[in-house]
Structure 1
Amino acid sequence: MTEALRPILKYFLSEDCIDTYLVDHDFTDGACFKSLLSKCLGYAIIAGSILVKIPQVLKLLKNKSGEGINLISVLLDLTAITSHMSYNYVKGYPFSAWGDNTFLALQTAAIGALVLFYGGSRALSLIFCLIYGLVVYILNSGLTPINVLLVAQAFNIPILLLGKLSQAWTNYKNSSTGQLSAATVFLLFAGSLARIFTSTQETGDFMIIATFCASTFANGVIVAQMIYYWNKPGKGKKPKAGKAAAKPVAASKKTKSKKID
């Protein structure tokens, strides 16, 4: 029975930890527990990433508008995600440590294409998709030297901060988070926070850990804005008709009462 579990456990544990659990029956080993927790978190993040930006995509499709979404922010975010994915892939790090970037890249590219499409640039939307596909191939096919990917990974921190904070600035100017999806924003924050732990456990790569620290901070800013602007009308938006109509009615009642007096 224990031997039958080995092939499955290899996705979660090293051979030493498998022996620790199955042979020595030592379930108190701290290092193995951290490794197992990291793997489980990693796979959970990957599973969540399959749908993390789908609410945002659906919101764009439903409203047929990219209002409030900063295209520069989306493109910078896509750049950071893609370079991070390619760097991890070429370095040979475990899929559980970076696999979510694959799905995030696809969904972010879709958001960028939709913003262009609903912004009136349909041809540009198609060109964008084609160019992005070509870039991904070049980065992951071995055509790009690892040193170039390392430099790209180093630039991820300022790119992430610039991208996320430019969206935060757009939110601030509009006094609204526009078409941003709350589900997507909160899931991105939770995912980047968890990735600090998994990256520490599975890669030990300082550059990657620092990137997720920066990402968590930037996502946290947008989460704070999402909460702050939750029920507040944005600039240029009128209050609900019911509230506006209440004042004239009240005023007319006062006028009538004066006439009766």
Structure 2
Amino acid sequence: MAASEASVQTSFMDPFKDILINYLMPEKCFDEFFLQFNLLHVDCLKIVISKGLGIGIILGSVLVKLPQILKLIGAKSAEGLSFNSILLELFAITGTMAYSIINSFPFSAWGEALFLMIQTVIIGFLIQHYAGKTIKGLGFVVVYLCLLTILISPLAHRDVVTAMQASNMPAIIIGRLIQAGTNHKNGHTGQLSAISVFLLFAGSLARIFTTVQETGDSLMAFTYVISSFCNGVIAAQVLYYWNKTPAHKKKAE
């Protein structure tokens, strides 16, 4: 009788089994949850939460910097954004992406880096474009894409990519300090998008857990700890300067 019930349960879950196993959990956890009804299995819960967060972060990353891009285009200005900070952020994102690819980490553990990279390149171009340096902006895009192609190709040496990932921490810190310094100097956050800043902060916090759970890589995990702290500083500045208006706008008013 028990075997018959198990068979019915298995047949009932078959349409969902492949999807769940491919994206959310290993088969042993599927059995724990849906055959044994052990819904509080700690190890499996960690896996499911981690996978779910990873997928959520990736989906969110598709649009995370879109508010920033739209804000720049709408204002036709990149005031308050530091191009040097963007370069360092791009360096860190690229390092994480290349390091993850070369180590064959699951896409759910690093996929947002791909979408963040695309959006960050666009922001970098817009900063140059609205500064009247469109040709320089195009050159930046071309050079970056060439370097990226080399880094994710078999030509890239593992030691170089690992060193790049290790350099992410100072790159993130310096990049965020540059942006924080720009905000402090200006007395406002300019065209920084609050939505993008807070989403990046939340995403980096969630990535600490998913990285530990899915890769066990302490270097990547510590990178996200540093990233979370630095993103938190910028988020705090956004709140602090919330009602501050650029001086030229005050004069216009």
Q: What is the CA distance between 1:235 and its match in structure 2?
A: 4.8
**Structure 1 residue 163 and structure 2 residue 175: aligned?**
yes
CA contact (8 A) 1:175 1:235 kept: no
Matches within 5 A, 1:74-223: 74-223=86-235
* Unmatched 5+ stretches in structure 1: 242-261
CA distance in 2: counterparts of 1:130 and 1:240, whole angstroms: 38
Cross-structure match for 1:8: 19
The percentage of aligned residue pairs carrying the same residue is 47
SS in 1 for 2:250: coil
CA distance in 1: counterparts of 2:249 and 2:63, whole angstroms: 31
Amino acid at match of 2:178: S
TM-score by length of 2: 0.92
Residues 194-247 of structure 1: CA deviation (Å, up to 9, x unaligned): 101111111110000100000000000011100000012345653785xxxxxx
CA contact (8 A) 1:97 1:198 kept: yes
Amino acid at match of 1:114: L
CA distance in 1: counterparts of 2:120 and 2:180, whole angstroms: 17
Larger Rg: 1
Amino acid at match of 1:136: L
Q: Report the count of equivalent residues.
A: 241
CA distance in 1: counterparts of 2:185 and 2:248, whole angstroms: 11
**Structure 1 residue 32 and structure 2 residue 65: aligned?**
no
Q: What is the CA distance between 1:116 and its match in structure 2?
A: 0.7
CA distance in 1: counterparts of 2:95 and 2:28, whole angstroms: 33
CA distance in 2: counterparts of 1:96 and 1:62, whole angstroms: 33
Q: What is the CA distance between 1:73 and its match in structure 2?
A: 0.2
Residues 112-142 of structure 1: CA deviation (Å, up to 9, x unaligned): 0110111111111111111111111111122
Q: Which runs of 4+ in 1 moved over 4 A?
A: none
Amino acid at match of 2:147: V
Cross-structure match for 1:249: none
CA distance in 1: counterparts of 2:247 and 2:50, whole angstroms: 43
Cross-structure match for 2:58: 46
* Unmatched 5+ stretches in structure 2: 1-11
Q: What is the CA distance between 1:25 and its match in structure 2?
A: 2.3
